[in-house]
Structure 1
Amino acid sequence: MNKLLSLLIVCVVSWQALAQDERYFRQLFSGELNKKGKSDARKYSWSVHTPYYSLDLNRDGKEEQIVFVKKDNEDWIEILDSEKNKIFGHIFENKGYDSELFRIELKTLNAITDVLLLYYYEGVSKYIDFQGTARIYAITIDNRDLKTLSLFKGSSFFDEVKTFKGHYHKRNYEVYLEDLNRDETKELIIKHRNASTVFIYKGQGKWQTFNQNQK
């Protein structure tokens, strides 16, 4: 009797597991699971954006579109392909109010890589001291392939500070590309007076950083 009861329990548990598996695979192949996942996406209370700016990022004669979007307290850059499909999105790290993406430049690093330079003002903080900073971001495109879009967060190129004790300074840094090591790939350089931060592109969206001081 005990053996029969154990067998019945095993059969019931196995049937329930099979039924659950069947429901899971039915949802998976019907797309129901994907629909449930989409419903869990974050919902924003408000969203505004700049005009759409057109650039041919992969040099194929078809223009992609770039837009800066504010969603609640978040700042985003989004890129759409020539058919208006979103292919890239990244959230900036803002530090206060009045943050904005105020300049975009498409440049060439080497024969197979282009870079989209993003000049982003991180905002103003006035908690105790006043501080406003701007930072460079770089989106690389390798081999004219939009699937390789990759974003790199660079260093600050603008800094304005006014302290509670009365100290004030405003620093504007130079931002430019130059092939310093003559390897036919330009480096991204952020320079202030005799101090420079140099970013070397290593390919596949990866960068190497080093600081350089000139006497």
Structure 2
Amino acid sequence: MAFRRCLLGRCVATCTSLSLGFATVTAAPTPAVADGAPAGHRVKIETKQSGVVLERLVGSPGAAEPRRWVRVCAAPCDVEVPAAAEYRLGGAGLRSSSPFTIDRPSTIEADLGSAWAFWTGAGVGVAGVALGAIGVLTVSADANASSTVGEEERDSVNVGWVLTAAGIVLIGTGVALLVGNRNSVTVDGTTVARRPAWRAFGVRLTPNGFVF
């Protein structure tokens, strides 16, 4: 009888211990996850250029503080970034890319144009337009002044043609610099943020024409 009581007591103690252990395991809290928290993605930035940085747009529209771009990392880099955000690539002396989003782990490659060459091309192109216009006006004015062209008028006409030709050369040079400084950002081989030269001036083509 005593042996049975002892054996029964040990069984009860063992079952109680197992029950407490199971309750402890099942009652362990799970890590809390913030509601609406954006999931992060691992991104790798690759480029053959120096000085390229990844930037993220922070701030909310209509907030007291203006939205701004903050630096994330300098390429080459391998970081985890929030998915619900806008990004761009830029750097000192480089043209910033158009904004893009990151919705999956990706490898991003950047080919950014030179800011100096771009603005030089823009300036040269504008100067070419102005010079060409002056040349055309000079030729037109002297041609309409008199049907009999004297020596002085002939020299003036020649100067006008020279100015026009120089303007055309400058325009061609400016266009070449602008076209050669396009930005391109590719994600896993797919282009996601190509920025044509004219986008720097805020010009875009819509069904209703050009919008500035």
Q: Structure 1 length as normaliser, TM-score?
A: 0.24
Comparing both structures, which one devotes a greater share of its residues to helix?
A: 2
Relative contact order, CA 8 A, sep 6+: which one is greater?
A: 2
Rg bigger for which structure?
2
Normalised to the residue count of structure 2, the TM-score between the two structures is 0.24
Specify which structure has the higher proportion of strand.
1
